[in-house]
A = this chain, B = another copy of it.
Amino acid sequence: MTDDRASQRPRRADARDNRERILRAARAAFAEHGPRASLNRIGAAAGVGAGTLYRHFPSEQALLVEIIRADVDALCATGRDLADEPDAAGALRDWLRAVARHATAMRGLVATHMATVSRPGTDATLAACHDAIRATGAILLNRARNHGAAPPTVDIGDLLTLANALAWASEQAADDPGLLDRLLDLALAGLDA
């Protein structure tokens, strides 16, 4: 992660500027309208034509992916910090909570993430995000296992899918802010059994 490879960084300063403005407008639009946000409008809000938008991000998904990438970086950093916590089980829980909460912050991101991760090969960047999260999660899960705080049968991939599923559910029920935490408690109750 944190690769921001040159391939998608425009050579010209004005183009780089446009790219940033599109990204900013997209963040705002997705946060407000969820996955139904219109790319046309995002382009307009960024003061940019449709052609320009699609030059920078060839598809709606490409745009979402770019936004996800930043979140994933943050999540991995959080995970690394939590790996030093003495309470291994708690660290794993806290991190899964963070994953779910991050995923919820921007509506529609979870769906995109899941959709693409489940059909590998669709998007290289997203696959890299997935690997990075998985690796971070594996560290925490292993520590929890070594402390006898997680059964060896549990898979980190399933655990992350679970977190995303709960995030998605609480996205749907925006009027119940406590839902995510309740669902996490409910679903993770048997973790250390």
Residue numbers of A with Cβ under 8 A of B are 111, 114-115, 118-119, 154-155, 158-159, 161-162, 164-166, 168-169, 172-176, 179, 182-183, 186-191, 193
Contact = CB atoms under 8 A, between A and B. Distances in A.
A160 B51 CA distance: 44
A165 B169 contact: yes
B119 A175 contact: yes
Contact of A191 (B161, B164, B190): B190
16 contacts: A111-B172, A114-B172, A115-B172, A118-B174, A119-B175, A159-B186, A161-B179, A162-B169, A165-B166, A165-B168, A165-B183, A168-B168, A186-B187, A187-B190, A190-B190, A190-B191
Contact of A114 (B115, B154, B169, B188): B169
A165 to B, nearest CB: 4
Given A183-B161, A186-B154, A189-B193, A169 B172 contact: no
A182 B189 CA distance: 15
Given A154-B186, A168-B168, A173 B193 contact: no
